[in-house]
Each structure stands twice: as C-alpha cells, then as structure tokens.
Amino acid sequence: MAIPPSWIIQTGRSIWTQIWQLMMSQLAPRNDRGEYQRPQSEFRHRVDGRYSPAPNRYRLYVGWSCPWAHRTLVVRALKGLEDSIDITMLRGDANAGGWALPALEHGCNTLAQLYRFANPGYTGRSTVPMLWDTQTNSIVNNESAEIIEILNAEFNEYATHPELDLAPIALQDSIEQWNDIIYQSVNNGVYRCGFAQTQAAYDQAHSELFATLDRIDELLATQDYLCGELLTLTDIRLFTTLIRFDLVYNNLFKCNRRRIQDYPRLQIYLQKIYNLPGVAETCNFQTILQDYYGNLFPLNPGGIIPQLPDMIYLHRWLE
C-alpha cells in the first residue's frame, strides 16, 4: 500500500504538533529555550512545633511509579518505620489527570481533591510524595528531599533501626554537593531529556546526564557509595532514578546512549542497594512500566506497554 499523500502527512503533523504542545504545556512547563522547568513544591513544614513526632500520626501518600515518592518508601523501609508511619498507595489515572485514591477519604476520590480539602481554593500541583498529619488533617510536606530527611531524623524513637543515620554530620558537605549534582543532571535530568521541547534542550540535558553517570561509574571504582563507604540519603535519591532507567528512561525519555546494565560499577551499585533489607519490596516494576507508558500520553500516544526487560542482575546477591 502507498503511504498517505503529502498533504495528509503535513496536515496531520501540524495538528498533532499543536495538540502535543498544548498537552506538554500542562504536563511539563518550559522556558523560552524549550527546557523543562520543574515547579517547586509548596508545602515545606518540618516535624517540629505544631507537627511533633508521634507513632501512627502521619501518613505518606505515594505511588509505585513515582521516583520521588519511591525515595520515601526506601527510607521508611531502611529505618524500620513501617509500623509507625502508614502509607496510602495511589493509582496513576490519566483520565482523572493525576493520582486516584484507592478508597474515598474525607469525601475525596483523588489526591487533587484531598489537597483542596486540606487547603480550600488550592490550585497548585497535587504531587506525591505527600506527608499528611491525621491529627489536624493537613499537609505537612510534599517535597521528597525534605520528607526523607524527616524520616531519617525525626522518628528514631519509633524506628526499628534508629542507629542507621543516612545523613551523618561529618558527610553533610559531600551530601549537599552530590545532591546538587545528581538533582540537576540525573534525577531531573532524565525528565529534562524526556520533556524537552527543542532539540537543543534535549541535547544539553542528554549530554549532562551521561557525563554525570560516567563520572559516578568511575568514582565507584574506589568507593562503595557517593560519599564514601557509608550509604546516605544521596544514594537513595540516585537509586530511585537508576532503578527506572533501563525500564523507562532509556527508551521512553530518549536517554539512550547507554543503559545502567552497560556500566560495570553502576550496575553493582544499584544491585547492592536493591538487595538491602526491605528495598526490593519497594520496587514494583510492572506498575512503573504501566504508569509511564500508559499515562504519559504525549510521549506514548499509542499506549503500548512494553514487556519487562531482562534485569536479572538486580536479583543476584553480590559474591
């Protein structure tokens, strides 16, 4: 069969481009260079003063597929806070335009409605993770970098592993330096690739991403973790991006220069963290695939969900 006439191709491309740009403007805000600009989190309270530490007072709203929410699940597991901080696992729902609650809460079916329940008139982003205070029915924090700091430091009295400190004072400078590096080029870098709306924006993000991955792979030849021989929150922040890399970012987000499987030391590093007690249980690979490929319609309009790739290296214990 012949391909469609050129006028049909040109018309279809023009219409699709306009629709794509409209959808991307809502999904991924951009600057005038076409670079993805991640909005800032708006709820930044700490667990002090009004919000005092207590068992079973706070609840985490998370989604399996979200790497930012995944951070909180990993720290919760490593610290042994499963019996003290409950979770509500949300479902990505493209038709609802966001996260759906598993059951009706405070008259709400979606996370966006719950945000407005706590803050009437709220019009901002309704994101996970979100730390909720069940005592006051209010949002404590929805910035993942701060929530994992709270989980690491503020609930030791109720933790099974209070001795584990993922942010030791002696490593603070190194932690902050690496946090800045990996946020820009890796954690947000994969989104800067996938959500880029110009070739130049994509090329820049792609270059920065793999320059950082190359650097980390070389670093891991001489030490176990980013800040030395101790696991820190910085490693958790990197882990939740790397665990999704070969699954979705490599293909769907066009981060395709290499896979994590192609990095000899990054592969071992990822495996080492994955095999820490409780961490594997926080990784739901099938839902990650389903949510990224099924819900990010502008990036995958056909909605085809790929098969799980071979990631058998994650399931082997280090020898």
SS3 readout for 206-217: HHHHHHHHHHHH
Which of the following is catalytic: 36, 58, 191, 225?
191
Determine whether 66 is an active site residue.
Answer: yes
**Cα–Cα dist 41/180, whole Å:** 16
Question: Measured at the alpha carbon of residue 291, what is the angle toward residues 287 and 294, in degrees to the nearest 5?
Answer: 125
Q: Evaluate the CA torsion angle 113, 118, 124, 130 in order and state its sign.
A: negative
Determine whether 191 is an active site residue.
Answer: yes
**Cα–Cα dist 169/272, whole Å:** 24
Which of the following is catalytic: 36, 61, 66, 202?
66
SS3 89: strand
Report the length, in residues, of the chain. 319
Question: Measured at the alpha carbon of residue 245, what is the angle toward residues 221 and 166, in degrees to the nearest 5?
Answer: 60
Q: Which residues are marked as active site?
A: 66, 191
